[in-house]
Amino acid sequence: MSDTESRDFIRQIIHDDLESGKHSQIVTRFPPEPNGYLHIGHVMSICLNFGVAAETAGRTFLRFDDTNPGRESEEYVDAIERDVRWLGFDWDDRLTHASDYFDRLYDAATELVKLGVAYVDSLSADEIREYRGTLTEPGKNSPHRDRSVAENLDLLARMRSGEFADGEHLLRAKIDMASPNMNLRDPALYRIRHISHQRSGDNWCIYPMYDFAHGLSDAFEEITHSLCTLEFEDHRPLYDWFLDQLRPEHRPRQIEFSRLNLAYAITSKRKLNALVEEGIVEGWDDPRMPTIAGMRRRGYPAVALREFVKRGGVTKKDKLIEMGVLENCVRESLGDDSQRRMAVLRPLKVVLTNYPEDHVEMMQAMNHPGRPELGTRELAFSRELWIEQDDFMEEAPKKFFRLKPGGEVRLRFGYIIRCDEVLKNDAGEVTELHCSYDTDTRSGTGSSDRKVKGTIHWVSCAHAIDANVRLYDRLFTEANPNSADDLHAVLNRDSLESVVAKLEASLADLDAGEPVQFERLGYFCVDSEENSADSRVFNRIVTLRDSWAKLEKQAMQQQA
């Protein structure tokens, strides 16, 4: 951590704590609740927690906050581990669960009772709500607040042994029912829930509340800096209260930072779950999802996600980052290494009437224009070719440098061709172009160095393979769907378009997940789930240019 200028406020605190000798080693944790897949917001928290530890030769725990049986599952646990690892981080043997500490947490709760700062309440849920007061009115004490330590210990033990039904009693901290901070109005520590836990089975019928379990787990693991999002700022007095009462040997410090929000995306596991449950997307790893699993399947490299959160920074200010920033990171990380290939997404047939039938030439195509060391490959060229429909215009404006009637264009790595005739069906749609090629203009070797303004891509009809190519668009029509009351109202119904494309033959053996650039079209990869030998499925990872910026500009102009 030598670069002072790039040090955010959390890294500055950590730096100071190391300098002053307050800590000799930094210990952090990433504490997801296993109730869904991780999303782009979590990427920020992961990079921060694992990042600051890695930069200072510290340690990081991956701790599952599994105190809500019923909502949580091992599927989510596995997915979270896979995603954190894929992002490039490692917890060694520091994989823990809040449930690992159920015994210790219960002992700590007993300790609070003995200290006279926790009590068993027997009000109903409705009464508890009523007694709590409001933001403007103080709460009032429960009639059970002054139970003796002995009575509280007895009731707590009986809660634990299963004598009572759900909701009959509640263990609460005894703090201050008149506190302006609602979190300090005798918060719950343990509730009765007769439900099995995915790890501890039926050992427990009482479960600790998040604030209590979280702060103490931090202390048990000797976390030095407990980094969390701003909504926990109001919980910090409670976090500190638990530590004050129990005086653990290691006292962690909670520091809050602002959440990362991505425009046109949702960063809430609950809402993402609704999209999955309702079948609006194909699953948690649908390539349109802002989940780590979805982005990985889409083809985003881990390094692009890490770079993205780095650019977002760590602050206390609200942030909604443009999708274009993420896509630029993806483009930048793919540009240097991805090999170029030819593919036609919306094919239009071109017949070269002066090219011999059954003749095939092998053209040398560079795999990467900026990196000759990546070599060349052969592209078959023949009489019938596919070109992109929108590379032809019948009534073209002056500045249209692609193909038009009577006009010329260069076929990349091929010849210059001229459009002689336009064939149409009964509906008046263009079905085929008859063109002629200039025999002297073979790319690289032609005797003529004649130049034309436009160059387009193509594939040979006889040699092309078919593939389903999925073109993704934003899932939502609103920049901030997180704040929409009804997600359905802001869904983009056209977020997935599937086309049957024509690809150069070499793409038949591309490995799933390996990114390539389809020339002039964008970056693509073979889908890791749906693909099979006889049905190739490609995902568009990202377009070549920032189409988002253009959309934003259009939206602004419409508003103006």
Task: Tell me, yes or no, if 259 is annotated catalytic.
Answer: yes
- Spatial neighbors of 158 by CB under 8 A, at least 6 apart, are 164
Which entry of Mg ion, ligand ATP, none binds 42, CB below 5 to 8 A by partner kind? ligand ATP
Q: Nearer to ligand ATP by C-beta: 32 or 299?
A: 32
**8 Å CB contact between 437 and 355:** yes
Q: Which two tokens stand for residue 369?
A: 């224009």
Q: Nearer to ligand ATP by C-beta: 112 or 272?
A: 272
Q: Nearer to ligand ATP by C-beta: 86 or 401?
A: 86
Q: Nearer to ligand ATP by C-beta: 18 or 44?
A: 44
- Residues paired with 409 in a beta bridge: 417
Say whether residue 314 binds ligand ATP (CB under 6 A): no
What's the CA gap between 533 and 68, in Å, rounded? 43
To the nearest 10°, the Cα dihedral for 205, 210, 211, 215? Answer: 90
Of 167, 189, 281, nearest to 238 (Cα)? 189
Which entry of ligand ATP, Mg ion, none binds 409, CB below 5 to 8 A by partner kind? none
Which entry of ligand ATP, Mg ion, none binds 268, CB below 5 to 8 A by partner kind? ligand ATP
| One-letter identity of residue 249 | E
> Minimal distance in Å, beta carbon 10 to ligand ATP?
12
Q: Nearer to Mg ion by C-beta: 98 or 526?
A: 98
Residue 154 exposed, middle or buried by CB count within 10 Å (0-12, 13-18, 19+): middle
Q: What is the CB neighbour count within 10 angstroms for residue 537?
A: 17
Among 10, 31, 436, 479, binds ligand ATP (CB under 6 A): 31
Among 11, 42, 160, 331, binds ligand ATP (CB under 6 A): 42
Residues in contact with Mg ion by the rule CB under 5 A: 33
CA distances from 119 to 152, 163, 189, 511 (A): 6, 17, 10, 61
Q: Nearer to ligand ATP by C-beta: 95 or 499?
A: 95
Say whether residue 268 binds ligand ATP (CB under 6 A): yes
Say whether residue 269 binds ligand ATP (CB under 6 A): yes
Q: Which residue has the tokens 């159920």?
A: 102
Say whether residue 480 binds ligand ATP (CB under 6 A): no
- The active-site residue out of 11, 160, 199, 269 is 269
Task: Tell me, yes or no, if 552 is annotated catalytic.
Answer: no
What's the CA gap between 288 and 304, in Å, rounded? 16
How many Å is the Cα radius of gyration of the chain? 31
Beta-sheet pairing, 319-321 with 260-262: parallel
Q: Which residue has the tokens 């053996």?
A: 509
> Minimal distance in Å, beta carbon 99 to Mg ion?
16
**Local structure of residue 102 (DSSP, 8 states):** H
CA distances from 79 to 213, 291, 294, 483 (A): 23, 11, 11, 27
Among 96, 152, 267, 460, binds ligand ATP (CB under 6 A): 267
Q: Nearer to ligand ATP by C-beta: 62 or 330?
A: 62
- The active-site residue out of 33, 151, 384, 478 is 33
Residue number with the shortest CB distance to ligand ATP? Answer: 41
Q: Nearer to Mg ion by C-beta: 33 or 168?
A: 33
SS3 state of residue 147: coil
SS3 state of residue 363: strand
Residue number with the shortest CB distance to Mg ion? Answer: 33
Kindly report the backbone phi and psi dihedral angles of residue 45, in degrees, each rounded to the nearest multiple of 5, phi listed first: -65, -40
Say whether residue 55 binds ligand ATP (CB under 6 A): no
> Minimal distance in Å, beta carbon 298 to ligand ATP?
19
> Minimal distance in Å, beta carbon 26 to Mg ion?
23
What's the CA gap between 505 and 459, in Å, rounded? 9
Which entry of Mg ion, ligand ATP, none binds 260, CB below 5 to 8 A by partner kind? ligand ATP
CA 380 vs. chain centroid, Å, equals: 39
**8 Å CB contact between 331 and 547:** no
Residue 303 exposed, middle or buried by CB count within 10 Å (0-12, 13-18, 19+): middle
> Minimal distance in Å, beta carbon 260 to ligand ATP?
4
Say whether residue 94 binds ligand ATP (CB under 6 A): no
**8 Å CB contact between 23 and 17:** yes
Task: Tell me, yes or no, if 33 is annotated catalytic.
Answer: yes
What's the CA gap between 129 and 188, in Å, rounded? 12
Say whether residue 51 binds ligand ATP (CB under 6 A): no
> Minimal distance in Å, beta carbon 29 to ligand ATP?
9
> Minimal distance in Å, beta carbon 197 to ligand ATP?
17
**Local structure of residue 259 (DSSP, 8 states):** P
Which one of 81-89, 102-110, 259-267, 418-426 is the stretch in contact with ligand ATP (CB under 6 A)?
Answer: 259-267
- The active-site residue out of 259, 271, 346, 349 is 259
Question: Binders of ligand ATP among 120-139, rule CB under 6 A?
Answer: none
Q: Give the contact letters, 203-232, x = binds to ligand ATP (CB under 6 A), - = no.
A: -------------------------xx---
Q: Nearer to ligand ATP by C-beta: 63 or 404?
A: 63
Q: Which helix (H) or strand (E) holds 46?
A: helix 40-55
Residues near ligand ATP (CB under 6 A): 31-33, 41-42, 44-45, 228-229, 259-260, 267-269
Q: Which residues are catalytic?
A: 33, 259, 269
